[in-house]
Amino acid sequence: MPIDNRAARVRDQIEMLASVSEHHQYVQRTFCSLAAKLANDMVSGWMHAAGLKTRVDNMANLRGVLPGNNPQGRVFVMGSHLDTVIDAGKYDGPLGVLLAIDQAARLEAGSLPFDLEVIGFSDEEGVRYHSSYLGSSVVAGCFDQEQLSLKDAKGVSMQQAVEKFGGDVTKLSKDQIPKDKFLGYFEAHIEQGPVLEEKNIPVGVVQTINSQERVEIKVQGVPGHAGTTPMMIRKDALAGAALMIAEVEQLAQKDHENMVATVGKVDVFPGASNVIPGNVNFTLDLRSPNYERLSTFSKKLQQIFSGITQKRGLTYSWNLIKTNKSTPCDDQLTQILSEAISQAGYPVQALTSGAGHDAVAISNLGPVALMFIRCKNGISHHPDEFVATEDIGAAIKVCDVFFDKLSQQMQ
Ligand SMILES: [Zn+2]
């Protein structure tokens, strides 16, 4: 099938998948939701049509295998995630899964010297349980079982959600790809940034994925009557948290090594206009290309938080949700990808990724490569997220050469 037609098919699939949502006004597919089930059904149909043998594993990942020509051969994985943020765009995640299915459709069963496994991961964004890479960490064998007791906003534990979806939490380890069977991982993903657009290039090669730390901060004060508690004796958790949040921004602004820090969610308790806030919980998201630098930043912030809370008679806790070191992409796979981009007729643009991706978790198994695709104005996690059909075509062209080269080298 000509590349233009394949790009148009991927575009149609993107549109159809975007209609599968938990919400009738916008795109939202969270871990183990009904929308996630419907999305798995829809994408599984496309996998089937592409000649893949499909199944949903115990962590709700959708997986399809195109067997290679060696029954004892290893497995090469291409995929991305099918979950989304709230009020999401259509491309973040699904585009990488659909490009992988497009490759499987092009390649004949038995034509590759390895099995090709296409995976639509069940949770990368971490919306429901505030813990990302749930799907890929099971495939990579680095899933932390304690997370099964985490509860969502409605009090449903992860274990309950997985079981309701049809998974068996006692069998998660069976869904891991054995390390000695794993050949490598390739992910295509939208850039979620402005570099490719600025340079007017459709695709880029990621060298490193930034380190990241996710923390939940709980500030405890004393609630009181807004009318009768004198200012001097108040222990206002929100006034303290506001200062802490301002420090997060200031400290990151002073860093000249691309450190970024964000407070994206604040909950105030009891949350009434006439009550002094007794408790405030807020999230903290720290990222840097340099893990040591991120750790230093994190320690400095904890010192500052201690100073602010002590001065105001408050207490606080620093609950580390997740930490990831920076993930370097594999030299050999990245070399093949760079050559593929060049052969497809595009300049080779190296990038670092400020966002985390499933490739981070999968790197526990072995080599990973990551290709970025230009998105309009660098906008992502928003309904305006957009990738031009020609750029989807460019990505397809690169993937074709990438797999042809890979299969030659792995003979
Ligand atoms: Zn993504």
Confidence check: pLDDT of 63 > 90: yes
More confident residue, 411 or 366: 366
Of the pLDDT bands very low, low, confident and very high (cuts 50, 70, 90), residue 78 is very high
Q: Is the pLDDT of residue 257 over 80?
A: no
Residue spans in the chain of domains classed CATH 3.30.70.360: 211-324
Report how far ligand 1's centroid is from the alpha carbon of 352 (Å).
15
Q: Among the listed ranges 102-106, 165-169, 177-181, 285-289, which one has the minimum average pLDDT value?
A: 285-289
Is residue 166 exposed (0-12), middle (13-18) or buried (19+ Cβ within 10 Å)? exposed
Strands 211-220 and 182-190: unpaired
Measure 372 CA to ligand 1 centroid, in angstroms: 11
Cα 80 to ligand 1 centroid, rounded to whole Å = 7
Residues 276 and 224 sit within 8 Å (Cβ to Cβ): yes
Secondary structure (3-state) at 321: strand
Whether the CB-CB separation of 10 and 373 falls below 8 Å is answered with: no
Question: SS3 for 305?
Answer: helix
Which residues have CB under 8 Å from 90's CB, separation 6+?
14, 15, 17, 18, 27, 385
- Cα of 319 to ligand 1 centre, how many Å? 25
DSSP 72-88: T--EEEEEEE----TTB
- 3-state secondary structure (DSSP) of residue 99: helix
The reported pLDDT for the residue numbered 264 is 95
- Is residue 112 over pLDDT 80? yes
Whether residue 282 contacts residue 270, with contact meaning beta carbons closer than 8 Å, is answered with no
State the average pLDDT over residues 89-103.
98
Encoded tokens for 230: 């004198």
Distance between Cα 48 and ligand 1 center (Å): 24
Give the position of tokens 């067997």.
Answer: 67
pLDDT in tens, 311-351: 999 999 999 988 889 999 999 999 999 999 999 999 999 99
How far does the centroid of ligand 1 lie from the alpha carbon of residue 381, in Å?
9
pLDDT exceeds cutoff 80 at 411:
no
Task: Tell me which amino acid residue 17 is.
Answer: L
SS3 content of the chain, % helix, strand, coil (to 5): 40, 25, 35
Is 57's pLDDT higher than 80?
yes
Contact 100, 88 (CB under 8 A): no
Total-model pTM:
0.85
96 CA distance to ligand 1 middle (Å): 9
Q: What is the mean pLDDT of the chain?
A: 96
Distance, in Å, from the CA atom of 185 to the CA atom of 362, rounded to the nearest integer, reads 7
Strand partners, 53: 65
| CA 182 / ligand 1 centre spacing (Å) | 22
pLDDT at 181: 96
Predicted local distance difference test score (pLDDT) of residue 314? 98
Enumerate the CATH 3.40.630.10 domain ranges in the chain, comma separated.
Answer: 3-209+327-409
Kindly tell me if the per-residue pLDDT of 373 is higher than 80.
yes
pLDDT at 256: 73
Nearest CA to 313 out of 233, 193, 225, 204 is that of 233
Residue 191 Cα to ligand 1 midpoint, Å, equals 9
How many whole angstroms from 89 Cα to the centroid of ligand 1? Answer: 10
- Reported as type and span, the H/E element at residue 189 is strand 182-190
Residue 7 CA, ligand 1 centroid: distance in Å: 20
Give the pLDDT band (50/70/90) at residue 40. very high
Tell me how far the alpha carbon of residue 39 lies from the centroid of ligand 1, in angstroms. 16
Return phi, psi of residue 241, to 5°.
-65, -35
Mean pLDDT of 52-79: 96
| Percentage of residues in the chain having pLDDT higher than 90 | 94
Domain 211-324, second-level architecture: 2-Layer Sandwich (3.30)
Please report, rounded to a whole number, the percentage of residues in the chain having pLDDT higher than 70. 100
Confidence of residue 130 (pLDDT cuts 50, 70, 90): confident
How high is the pLDDT of residue 141? 97
pLDDT surpassing 80 at residue 9: yes
- pLDDT value, residue 131: 86
Distance 189 CA to ligand 1 centre (A): 7
Q: What's the CATH fold of domain 3-209+327-409?
A: Aminopeptidase (3.40.630)
H or E element that contains 140? helix 134-140
